[in-house]
Amino acid sequence: MAPAASTVDVLGDDLLQEVFVLLPGPADLLRAALACRPFLRAARSAAFLRRFRRRHPFTCPLLLGCHLHLPGERRGNSAPHLLPAPPSAATRRVAERGDFALSFIPRRGRPGAAGAGTPWQLLDCRNGRLLLRSRSSQELAVADPLARRWVSLPALPGDHPVGYALVPDDGDYSVFQAACISRVGDTTELRAFLLSSAELRWADVGGLAQQPNLAASRAMQANRSLYWKLVGGQHMLALNTATTELAVLPLPPFLRELSFDVIEKGEDGAGGLHVLTMRGFCIEVWVGEDDGAGGLAWTLVDKSVRFHRAIAEMIGSEHFYHLTLDVIGVAAGVVFLRNGSCLFCIHLETMKMTKLSENESCPSALIYPYTIAWPPAILNPTEEGA
């Protein structure tokens, strides 16, 4: 006769996950998962972990700050570094364990050659990892500054790479994908390539003909899709990493001259494409939904208070109304902005604005919000536990 199932086993993973998703934060989830094997099994579901992360955007994952990757200099060594934001004892203790100057990665090329000041160029930053390219050999690498580990990637099969991205798996921090958009020869055809850290091999997953240039646009990411703004600002290139579908999406006219980031909104990740921008010193969130005619209908769903007074006090300029704030990126419920050489952040839950630094000579394209890898290793899905 089979032994009677325990009360916990009778609850089942689905019911346990409905309880776990209501926990206040990731530390509470970890403590619950360690209570017993059934709890750990329920918490290890990759789908549940993605759902938990979307439901707790202000606490999950832990934000350490901005990673600044200064341009190469022929004289001196302009090493990249982490700019803490917002400062706290917890984030400082974590950051102190890392090597954000990337001194653990071997240099490539001859000393004194062009690009020797900063031998690696930053291409993307996701889930505690950096996607890098050697300035001399064009070799690609993925590095983890906290673990001080790195891996070299094989050469790309495409002719002219024009866009790069990292794709973290929110259900397993030890796994990642790298993506590349490449132009074919002298044509306007674009091809998409994906690489898995499990195989370290590039796969051609699709293409589009007669499309505009990405023009060194940095990648944006939400709901397992990647986005690059195209030249002219009228469209975005979208790559769904789950289905490998490649598409071009129209942008509303007001976004063509503004910087923005795509964000995840809603517990299940459904409900259209959400973008966050700053216009008129207000943070705005817009959603684009299928209009039934192959386009997107855009609706304003959220608008903050105006930050003109806070900006004026922090910048100290009488002409601040003529200044603009570029959205650098959004991570862990914080939006990072730049005005000239000044960096700011706004916590989206409290709408508190903080000036991070000034006189930073790093271009906006080389400033990336940095979060630690999540979930912790104990929650990595297993074949029998997921």
Rounded CA-CA distance 153/97 in Å is 25
The residue among 110, 125, 105 whose CA lies nearest residue 166 is 125
Give mean pLDDT, residues 341-363.
84
Query: Is the pLDDT at 3 greater than 60, yes or no?
Result: no
Query: Is the pLDDT at 20 greater than 70, yes or no?
Result: yes
Rounded CA-CA distance 174/168 in Å is 9
Question: What amino acid occupies position 258?
Answer: L
The residue among 171, 136, 123, 132 whose CA lies nearest residue 151 is 132
Q: What are the structural domains of the chain?
A: 7-56 (no CATH), 57-102+119-379 (2.120.10)
Rounded CA-CA distance 135/53 in Å is 35
CB of 122 closer than 8 Å to CB of 368? yes
pLDDT of residue 266: 67
CB of 246 closer than 8 Å to CB of 192? yes
Whether the bond into 212 is cis, omega within 30 of 0? no
CB of 238 closer than 8 Å to CB of 224? no
**Strongest mean pLDDT among 1-5, 107-111, 255-259, 319-323:** 255-259
Q: Which residues are registered as beta bridge partners of 248?
A: 237
Q: What is the DSSP letter of 226?
A: E
Rounded CA-CA distance 288/119 in Å is 40
- Both tokens of 252, joined, read 């509303």
- Both tokens of 126, joined, read 């996701």
Residue 296 makes CB contacts below 8 A (sequence gap 6+) with 249, 250, 272, 273, 288, 289, 290
pLDDT digits (tens, 9 = 90+) for 260-306: 999 988 665 567 899 999 998 899 999 998 888 877 889 999 999 88
When pLDDT is cut at 50, 70 and 90, the band that residue 172 belongs to is low
Give mean pLDDT, residues 82-100.
80
pLDDT of residue 341: 76
Q: What is the DSSP letter of 227?
A: E
Q: Tell the residue number behind the tokens 């091999």, with chain if given.
A: 201
Please tell me the pTM assigned to this model: 0.86
The torsion defined by the Cα of 267, 269, 273 and 279, in degrees rounded to 10, comes to 30
- Both tokens of 326, joined, read 């570029």
The residue among 161, 141, 159, 160 whose CA lies nearest residue 151 is 141
